[in-house]
Amino acid sequence: MQKLIIINGPNLNLLGKREPNIYGSLTFTEFFDTVKKKYPNVDLDYYQSNIEGEIIDKLHEVGFGHDGIILNAAAYTHTSVGIGDAVKAIETPVVEVHISNTFSREEFRHQSYVSPNARGVVLGFGLQSYELAIQSFL
Ligand code: DQA
């Protein structure tokens, strides 16, 4: 059984309430429950933090044992050298995910410290981006 984890960064705990025109009206818990049922043969974990260091700690914790990491570092994607370095330091492949198409938004969202060290990037497909990332590991 594949052991995967979704790691979500800052403000993604507000999914469903936050700018629904961009991020949709489903909460992440609702989405995660559906995905868990759809992929019963995947051991799928979920972690969310608004704190940069906690995301780095989680990457270290799972980055030598899990088969895959699906990372939406949210705003830290565009600012965090530390998260980028952590993705580089670990062994587990990371697929970077974004709900929105960051390239169709403000210029500062075009930069990613995660992408250079990610196996791949899925963005712009709403919450389905996470599911496509899961499928990439199967
Ligand atoms: C996001 C895009 C980021 O630019 C933004 O800061 C987020 C969410 C996305 O999933 O579309 O918080 O990562």
Distance 22 CA to ligand 1 centre (A): 9
Q: For the residues 118-130, what does the mean pLDDT come to?
A: 97
- Closest approach atom of ligand 1 to CA 10: 12
Q: What angle do CA 21, 56, 5 make, to 5 degrees?
A: 65
- Closest approach atom of ligand 1 to CA 74: 13
Distance 54 CA to ligand 1 centre (A): 18
Strands 42-48 and 2-8: parallel
Question: How many independent structural domains does the chain possess?
Answer: 1
Nearest residue (by CA) to ligand 1, atom 6, is 75
pLDDT tens-place string over residues 50-73: 999 999 999 999 999 999 999 999
Tokens 């075009």 identify what position?
110
Strands 120-123 and 94-98: parallel
Distance 95 CA to ligand 1 centre (A): 15
* Residue 62 phi, psi (nearest 5): -100, -10
Domain range holding 40? 2-137
**Domain with 95 in it: what CATH number?**
3.40.50.9100
Task: Determine contact, residues 15/98, Cβ cutoff 8 Å.
Answer: no
| Catalytic site positions | 23, 98
Distance between CA 94 and CA 87 in Å, rounded? 7
**Mind giving me the DSSP string for 37-106?**
HH-TTEEEEEEE-S-HHHHHHHHHHHTTT-SEEEEE-GGGGGT-HHHHHHHHH-SS-EEEEESS-GGGS-
pLDDT tens-place string over residues 67-119: 999 999 999 999 999 999 999 999 999 999 999 999 999 999 999 999 999 99
Distance between CA 105 and CA 110 in Å, rounded? 8
